[in-house]
Amino acid sequence: MIYKTIKVEASSCYEIIIGRDILSRIGEFIRPLLGNCRVALLTDSTVDEIYGERIIEYLSAAGYAVDKFVIPSGEASKCADNLLEFLNFMADCKLTRSDAVIAFGGGVVGDMAGLSAALYLRGVKYIQIPTTLLAAVDSSVGGKTAIDIPAGKNLVGAFYQPSLVCCDTALMDTLDASVFRDGCAEVIKYGVILDKELYANLRCVDFDRESVVARCVEIKRDVVQQDEFDNGVRGLLNFGHTFGHAIEKMSNFEVSHGAAVAKGMIIAARMAPLCGLCDVSQELGKLLGEFGFNLDCKYTADELYDAILSDKKRRGDNITVVLPRSIGECILVTLTVEELHDKLKQILL
Ligand code: NAD
Ligand code: GLY
């Protein structure tokens, strides 16, 4: 069983272990970090049905007492009610400061488990075991934790780094094709923002999972180490997201995150030449098309602009967007909201 270890040196240091079929070794991986303790395992109903027995078996065999809490699968579960229920569950299970939380699922589970760990007893350790491609390459790394509230997605959260990320790429074998593709949008994002070699090696969904996940994680690690609290360069990770989030929101989340980010990346690529940068939209559109993304945007410039105005990344009358300078290099460009509106009108009807 070969695996790769990537070290993150942020406000706290931790390792990301990536390999195929490594879940059975979870006990061995966490023992040096957690010692003997109870663990509260947070997962969702889909992951629980497929892998629930297996993870409990591995943790129990390693001597861990496990208290499992299952939320329904889907974004709607990343809410305040479930957060509070999980915190009460941990208290009922009498978890102490020396106990820990394990997130076993996609980004929904990971974000909520991380926030719960940050809050419970003012902070207990937590481990991320991502089970989706998106969670493996993005949400499990870097310590952004959150829940959604009615006013918006991820509006309540904390920066709180995990103690370990253990990514078994075999878990992704059971993902729906569309969920896997959602993660591919983030993989392509990493190529466009910072790695033209990664980009050049992506042609379809059948890429070498372990090496691609590891490369994406290295890129995210490097960015997080420079700007853990998201005051500068970490903004590059939002390529396609400002427009994507607006599309997701307007569609009432019927357009999935990855599909919306793909559309958002194309809008950003088309905005670049309007800001004096190169036009990579044809090339990027071709790759996204090969991955099966539909790049049409059915919203008008006015509709998109209105949705973007409520983006949490807006500062006063300015908004910073991520635009490609070339494949493999993006920059942060700050526009006034009027400039943004004007450029959107040149791109969309
Ligand atoms: P998700 O957690 O909802 O998972 C998507 C679907 O896949 C769910 O239905 C889930 O039950 C199912 N699933 C998960 N693992 C599976 C497996 N191995 N086999 C079969 N089905 C499986 O969604 P996601 O795309 O993983 O994550 C999206 C969330 O991540 C959003 O809430 C987003 O805000 C958040 N996010 C956070 C960060 C961060 O830095 N913290 C970054 C990006 C996204
Ligand atoms: N997913 C964006 C970030 O972690 O900053």
Question: What span, in angstroms and rounded, lies between the C-alpha atoms of 116 and 69?
Answer: 12
Residue 153 Cβ < 6 Å to ligand 2: no
Long-range CB pairs of 6-13 (<8 Å, 24+ gap) are: 6/214, 6/217, 6/218, 6/221, 7/221, 8/141, 8/142, 8/161, 8/221, 8/224, 8/225, 9/225, 10/142, 10/143, 10/161, 10/224, 10/225, 10/228, 11/143, 11/159, 11/161, 11/228, 12/161, 12/163
Q: How far is the CA of 107 from the centre of ligand 1 (A)?
A: 4
| C-beta separation of 111 from 83 below 8 A | no
Spans of the chain below 50 pLDDT: none
Structure tokens, 115: 């926030």
End-of-domain residue from the set 119, 143, 174:
174
Residue 314 confidence (pLDDT): 73
Residue-level pLDDT at 312: 65
Element spanning 181, H or E = helix 177-194
- For the chain, what is the domain count? 2
Give the count of beta carbons closer than 10 Å to the beta carbon of residue 53. 10
**What span, in angstroms and rounded, lies between the C-alpha atoms of 176 and 254?**
16
220, 322: one domain: yes
Q: Are residues 272 and 133 in the same domain?
A: no
**Residue 39 structural domain:** 3-174
Q: Measuring from each residue's beta carbon to the nearest atom of ligand 1, which residues come in under 6 Å?
A: 44, 46-47, 50, 73-75, 78, 105-109, 111, 131-132, 134-135, 138-139, 142, 144, 153-154, 171-172, 174-175, 179, 182, 257
Same domain, 169 and 26: yes
Written as one letter, the residue type at 252 is N
Q: Is 203 exposed, middle or buried (0-12, 13-18, 19+ CB in 10 A)?
A: exposed
Place of tokens 């009108």: 345
What is the CATH number for 100? 3.40.50.1970
> Are residues 281 and 225 part of one domain?
yes
Distance 140 CA to ligand 1 centre (A): 10
The DSSP line for 245-264 is HHHHHHTTT-S-HHHHHHHH
* Same domain, residue pair 128 and 226: no
> 80-109 b/e with 16+ CB inside 10 Å = b?
eebbeebbebbeebebeeebbbbbbbbbbb
Closest approach atom of ligand 2 to CA 144: 4
Render pLDDT for 201-241 as a digit per residue (tens, 0 to 9): 998 888 999 999 999 999 999 999 999 999 999 999 999 99
111 lines ligand 2 (CB under 6 A): no
- CA distances to 8, 141, 148, 205 from 47, rounded to whole Å, are 27, 20, 21, 22
Segment 262-306, tens digit of pLDDT: 999 999 999 999 999 999 999 999 999 999 999 999 999 999 999
Site of tokens 């960015």: 223
For residue 205, the model assigns a pLDDT of 83
Q: Are residues 227 and 158 in the same domain?
A: no
What are the helix and strand counts (H, E) for the chain? Answer: 13, 11
Location of structure tokens 């690529």: 269
Ligand nearest to the Cα of 129, by number:
1
Looking from the CA of residue 186, the nearest atom of ligand 2 is 1
3-state helix, strand, coil in the chain (%, to 5): 50, 20, 25
Residue 138: CB within 6 Å of ligand 2? yes
195 close to ligand 2 (CB < 6 Angstrom)? no
Are 191 and 232 found together in one domain?
yes
Same domain, 60 and 149: yes
Question: Are 271 and 303 within one domain?
Answer: yes
Q: What does the pLDDT read at residue 208?
A: 94
What is residue 309's predicted lDDT score, i.e. its pLDDT? 86
Q: Is 270 in the pocket of ligand 2 (CB under 6 A)?
A: no
| 121 phi, psi to nearest 5 deg | 55, 30
